[in-house]
Structure 1
Amino acid sequence: MALLDQRQMDCERLRGAGIRPTTQRLGVMRAIREGGRRHLTPESFHRELAESKIRMSLATVYNTLNHFADAGLLRRVGFGERIWFCTNTGEHYHFFDETTGRIEDVLGEQPQVLGVPEPPPGMEILGIDVVIRVGKAA
């Protein structure tokens, strides 16, 4: 596919999500698309962008990733004080390796969550996140 065609598709995807396609946002979108399915931290993604000669401040990276997540282009995965941005926006769960700090998708059949309680009055359940903590076997 021609680079111009892909750029146009990225522009349309951003517009479809209600995001104005600026040069920086298109650079972020391209880096996300070309990197495949993975989990980004703002810091690691900032380094990745810098290595690709896409220059922007860390604050802009934070804001752009959050903006993309708010628009459904990325999925926030977090617990404790850590937050990752998952490029796989479909429903799925995660493994978290407590030894390395790495997070990865649970592939294939997903765990079933049973007995979900009713939300508090005036609230609705937006989703359920399951993080399975793992570590090296003894």
Structure 2
Amino acid sequence: MTEYFNWIKAAHIISMVCWFAAIFYLPRLFVYHAMSEDNISQQRFSIMERKLYRGIMTPAMIATWLFGLWMVILGWEVYKTQMWLHIKLTLVVILTAYHFACGYYRQQLMSNPQYKSHVFWRWFNEIPVFILIAVVILVVVKPF
């Protein structure tokens, strides 16, 4: 590994925190959007969702992937046999699918704010929490 590995790891963690912050907040905006009844509020939520998704969430996801893959490439000889990393990467792929589902749902909410109920969005918002818990345990404890 290189002398810059810890800098890459720091950048990976920073981008991951930004990604998760956005991925926790966007479905919360969906809750409020689904509960809004006036056109002005619905437009406001659409703008907020677009800016969060395009301006923070997607760039943070891309940075997380780039720095993470950079670390994996640098340490491949060590990482290739570590099952915790393979499970973590699977969870990151699932989180990425969740990310794109958020983008799809954002589009649906723009045209139909009652597309799903606020109760659905509250439950939908919990999915990344479980992924975060699992990823942190895998990375810190390395149980496999």
TM-score band (shorter)? under 0.3
TM-score, normalization: structure 1? 0.26
Q: Which has the higher strand share?
A: 1
TM-score, normalization: structure 2? 0.25
Q: Which has the higher helix share?
A: 2
